[in-house]
Amino acid sequence: AQKVTQAQTEISVVEKEDVTLDCVYETRDTTYYLFWYKQPPSGELVFLIRRNSFDEQNEISGRYSWNFQKSTSSFNFTITASQVVDSAVYFCALSERTAGAQKLVFGQGTRLTINP
Amino acid sequence: GAGVSQSPSNKVTEKGKDVELRCDPISGHTALYWYRQSLGQGLEFLIYFQGNSAPDKSGLPSDRFSAERTGGSVSTLTIQRTQQEDSAVYLCASSLGAFSGNTIYFGEGSWLTVV
**Per-residue pLDDT band at A98 (split at 50, 70, 90):** low
Which of the two residues, A44 and A88, has the higher pLDDT score?
A88
To the nearest whole Å, the CA of A114 is away from the closest chain B CA by: 22
Contact B104 A98 (CB under 8 A): no
Give the residue-averaged pLDDT of A88-114: 86
Give the residue-averaged pLDDT of A55-79: 91
**Per-residue pLDDT band at A34 (split at 50, 70, 90):** very high
Which of the two residues, B98 and B22, has the higher pLDDT score?
B22
Please state the length of chain B.
115
Those residues of chain A whose CB sits closer than 8 Å to some CB in chain B are 32-33, 35, 37, 42-47, 50, 52, 91, 95-98, 100-109
Q: Please provide the average confidence, as pLDDT, over all residues in chain A.
A: 91
Q: Using CB atoms, which residue from B100, B103, B105 is nearest to A96?
A: B100
Do A37 and A47 contact (CB within 8 A), yes or no? yes
Q: What is the pLDDT of residue B72?
A: 85
CA closest to B50 among chain A residues: A101
Q: What is the pLDDT of residue A41?
A: 87
Segment B54-87, tens digit of pLDDT: 888 888 999 999 999 988 899 999 999 999 999 9
Give the residue-averaged pLDDT of A22-34: 91
d(CA B79, CA B76): 10
Q: Using CB atoms, which residue from A35, A45, A46 is nearest to B91?
A: A45
Q: What is the pLDDT of residue A97?
A: 62
Q: What is the pLDDT of residue A101?
A: 61
d(CA B35, CA B23): 12
Interface test with B, best of A23, A44, A52, A110 (most B CBs within 10 A): A44
Residues 38-67 of B with CB under 8 A from A: 42-43, 45, 48, 55-56, 58-59
Contact B48 A103 (CB under 8 A): yes
Give the residue-averaged pLDDT of A10-36: 94
Segment B26-60, tens digit of pLDDT: 999 999 999 999 987 789 999 989 889 888 888 89
CA distances from B32 to A30, A67, B60 (A): 25, 30, 15
> Beta strands B5-7 and B19-24: pairing type?
antiparallel
**Per-residue pLDDT band at A108 (split at 50, 70, 90):** very high
d(CA A14, CA A113): 8
Q: What is the pLDDT of residue B1?
A: 54
CA closest to A47 among chain B residues: B105
Segment A43-56, tens digit of pLDDT: 889 999 988 888 88
